[in-house]
Amino acid sequence: MNYRSQYFAAVIMTTIEAKPFLKDYTFVEKLGSGSYGAVYKAHRKTGARDVVAIKCVKKSNLSKREVDNIVTEISLLKKLKHDFIVEMTDFSWDNNFIYINMEYCGVGDLSRFIRSRKKLPENTCHVFL
């Protein structure tokens, strides 16, 4: 391989973004994205084919402070068990991503719920609080 082809191969490799991948899961659709990464709907490839939400945090985008925030988030989610808090079921990582597996809630998020109704009655707010 000459210098020119090595250069173009290096350019191509750096422009190809790593895609989230977990060997036991099939990623179905992107549900949304936030400050640290994206959340995907996924299901197990074998067995019960449980549907989950997987938060994929791209490690190369993280500062030291943000890594600390992710570690804190995982620590808290491991301890929190409540009907109104999305439960973390597992977490893992590879060279490119940190994966946080959570229960899938197919009805959307609270923010979208509030925006769609513009105004909520007090008794509905009590349910969420």
List Cβ neighbours of 18 (8 Å cut-off, separation of 6 or more): 58, 95, 96, 97
Structure token digits, residue 54: 């997987």
In degrees, to the nearest 5, what angle opens at C-alpha 15 toward C-alphas 30 and 35? Answer: 40
> What's the average model confidence in pLDDT over 121-128?
88
pLDDT for residue 122: 93
pTM, full prediction: 0.75
DSSP 105: -
Residue 30's pLDDT band (boundaries 50, 70, 90)? very high
**Helix intervals (H) in the chain:** 3-15, 64-79, 110-117, 122-128
Q: Is the pLDDT of residue 28 over 50?
A: yes
